[in-house]
Amino acid sequence: MSLDDCIQAYGRLDSADPDATQAALQTCTRVLLDPLVWEWALGLTLICALVGLVIGYIRGRWLAGLVWGAALGPIGWAIVLLSKSGLIECPDCGRGNVPRAKACRHCGVNLQAAATRSQRSSLKRVDRGRGW
């Protein structure tokens, strides 16, 4: 018996007959406790969690991606995609790096030294590169 059969049985149920009500509840309980239903639910939850983990890893928030993906599936993926990134931006190339990085993984600049540079020195460096 499938879940659709349970819903149809509840539609035809005579609420005055307690034996029929008990039989319908037992049938639906058997359907809901079927191991195949729980295997599918667990499998889909794990797949959603893994996709969320990948999206979160790209955004620098892998734990948030894992939790939101497992809890809400595609809605959790959207939450992680639209949330603020956990990566810090390189002042030279503008690409993201993990917060504990000492050097940019894309251009190799020392992030700690670049963060202490003044605004004027970075503007002078940009002006030198352009020319007239």
**Mean pLDDT to the nearest integer, 13-30:** 82
Is residue 70 a contact partner of residue 53, using CB atoms and an 8 Å limit? Answer: no
Q: What is the pTM of this model?
A: 0.59
Q: Is the pLDDT of residue 118 over 80?
A: no
- Confidence label for 119 from pLDDT (cuts 50, 70 and 90): low
Phi/psi of residue 11, nearest 5 degrees: -70, -35
Nearest CA to 98 out of 108, 109, 85 is that of 85
* Length in residues, the chain: 132
Round the CA-based radius of gyration of the chain to a whole number and report it: 28
Average pLDDT, the chain: 81
Q: How many CB atoms lie within 10 A of CB 55?
A: 22
Q: Is the pLDDT of residue 6 over 90?
A: no
**Sole residue written with tokens 């949330």:** 83
